[in-house]
Amino acid sequence: MSVSNSYTQLEARFRRLSLIGGAQAILGWDRSVMMPTGSAEDRAEQSATLGVIAHELISAPEVGDLLASAEQRTADLDAWQLANLREMRRAWVHSTALTSDLVERRTRAISRAEMAWREAKARNDYAALLPHLQAVLDVTREAGQAKAAKLGCSVYEALLDEYEPDGRTTRIDRLFADLEGFLPPLLGEVLEHQASRPAPLPLKGPFPIETQRALGLELMKAVGFDFAKGRLDVSAHPFTGGTPDDVRITTRYDETDFARALMGVLHETGHAMYEAGLPPHWRHQPVGSARGMAIHESQSLLLEMQACRGRAFIDFAAPRMAAAFGGTGAAWGADNVHRVYTVVKPGFIRVDADEVTYPLHVILRYRLERAMIDGELKLADLPGAWNEGMEKSLGVRPPTDTLGCLQDIHWPDGGWGYFPTYTLGALAAAQLFAAARAADPGIEPGLARGDFAPLYHWLRETVHSQGSLLSTDALLEQATGAPLGTAAFKAHLRARYLQ
């Protein structure tokens, strides 16, 4: 049976939207990686114009009529088309909540704030960022209010929904409260356990940047990254951008510590492998897109934390690390390298945090951004609230704003509501990796050989190829037998850090 003309027209329109989004993604990557700083205003104009074009394309009056018409003939549609129609309406609701003027103002504010953040972070100058960040917060709150009215939820939940479909604070609060009850006592146990053993031997540098890059490329190839459809570059804040057929990864290097960049590269490769594995038949359609950022973050954390910090992979990687940097002796043996890669220590920087302390960084940011969106915390008071929160949850107080509230790009970049997905993703990663190993006993031996094919065969079939066909919980239940929870993550932390 042929599908309705209304549905066919919608597919054509959303294909155009996807292609415009791809162009925006490449422009955004260029802004962060290669664009001259003096070009910021020109790029802001370009990005704002594309944003308005995309907004007008999806919010045109006829789109609502096409959706209503297609929804009246659902008997014509298969499961994927039904899900695509559902995701089309979701995107339409988000877009029609905003005026073109608001979209343009939001895009301009974000573009300017991102460039201001780069300079402010480098100079430890929060005051210089403050007016730009205030502009972003004001327009973000305005957008959130408009969307909340359409979605029937709180302003923060409307912003969260941009990253995690149907995400609700009640569920996040429940999961985070569970982790807050578990992690501090565990942290104490882990630190005591570490102290009872000799400290791992240091891996002495310097580690030349070009050598770090070459090692990162070698391990990306082992994972299966396709360099014919992607690349690795440098940016102030590591990220994955581009499109499923043109994936752009960035990292940053430190010549005194190669582990930061290497694990960052593997983290972003996890994102890239998910993008590349999305269903090709549904490319440029909403149902062919990633199922929210919790699942996206699960894929980066599954690769970086679950697989590549595990002993099996370190058995493969340690000799290659030693060969790359000319390392010799016991320090470069797999046992010591594994201990170096699994040291737990409270610190200032989220992206460098270990698995035990990382969720505490996220919980703090989640509560701060909710307070700022709700008007309970003024931006001028953010540095103090940040430092107090760090001291309370992790026992450390940042000496500078560069090591504190200026460290992340998310708020200047408009990513309000994104932070919870990091820890939701960590929970999902633990569930998925446990399920994968149970389904295929060859996964761990494969990692010890640098063979990621068994792991990615399971992930392609179970997660990547599903796109946005299912909800987050339905996808996890289908893959692991349970909705998102904390049990697998807790078991993983205890097994890795207390044995």
Query: Using one digit for the tens of pLDDT, what is the confidence trace for 252-307?
Result: 999 999 998 999 999 999 999 999 999 999 999 999 999 999 999 999 999 999 99
pLDDT in tens, 95-130: 999 998 998 899 899 989 998 999 999 999 999 999
Query: pLDDT band at residue 346, thresholds of 50, 70 and 90?
Result: very high
**pLDDT at residue 238 in the model:** 86
pLDDT in tens, 292-313: 999 999 999 999 999 999 999 9
**pLDDT at residue 1 in the model:** 43
pLDDT in tens, 305-339: 999 999 999 999 999 999 999 999 999 999 999 99
- 365 near 411, Cβ under 8 Å? no
Instruction: List the strands of the sheet with 230-234, edge to edge.
Output: 230-234, 246-251, 240-243
pTM of the full predicted structure?
Answer: 0.93
Nearest to 62 by CA among 5, 14, 6: 6
* Catalytic sites, residue numbers: 268
Q: What is the mean pLDDT of residues 193-215?
A: 95
Query: pLDDT band at residue 250, thresholds of 50, 70 and 90?
Result: very high
β-bridge partners, 247: 230, 242
| Least confident interval from 46-50, 209-213, 317-321 | 46-50
Q: How many residues does the chain have?
A: 499
- How far is 285 from 52, CA to CA, in rounded Å? 20
**pLDDT at residue 2 in the model:** 62
- How far is 307 from 448, CA to CA, in rounded Å? 10
**pLDDT at residue 499 in the model:** 84
- Alpha-carbon distances of 93 from 75, 102, 152, 194, 305, rounded to whole Å: 23, 15, 11, 51, 36
Q: What is the mean pLDDT of residues 419-433?
A: 98
Share of the chain above pLDDT 70, in %: 100
Nearest to 137 by CA among 379, 376, 385: 379
